[in-house]
Structure 1
């Protein structure tokens, strides 16, 4: 059970970190890739819109296909999009990579939450696990 909690916490941390850490790099992205100030907003919003818009679909896919395939698929998609975003040489490629990262995150987040609900029985153990998940 501890490894499931570790997986769920790691996934939640990755999803939340990727939403916010990009803000630190925005000035460098503007200089290196030639973004306009309005274009920089889309670096953050491309991820947020894809993530928020597809979150329920990610949960439904996990219901239909199972948690494991959706978790693995989400991790592969998220990782590949992260690599593509890191290697992006143009604003359009970076925005596309950020949107695909959001799609991967939308698959990951509901599975991470479901792992906790499945692995821990109702009571103090689940409450503690959910508290750690919320903290991540």
Structure 2
């Protein structure tokens, strides 16, 4: 199934991922964190409209790394607005997120987007070393 950005979605382990890139990051994170939470829902503003919260649903939350992970193929206007809102309401939370992109790493309004290869290296370096007898 293709979405509006011509990405091919897939269902893996009961979760739907809108692109192959999301699947790649999922498999990468699964190597390190078997408690990975897929599509956690964060409420940014409650009851802005009656019964309607403003939410952000990042792609993953890793308890192992204590980080939210957002996989970005396209920087949509909706995402930009939510990140500005997140920075305003809870600036420390943005620093607890990894934003992963296919292309070259870059910064946008204080948010660092990291290339998938650099992201993999970060995960390798943050992995807790195992004792020799394990």
Structure 1 length-normalised TM: 0.23
Between Structure 1 and Structure 2, which shows a larger proportion of strand residues? Answer: 2
Higher relative contact order (CA 8 A, sep 6+): 1
Structure 2 length-normalised TM: 0.23
Between Structure 1 and Structure 2, which shows a larger proportion of helix residues? Answer: 1
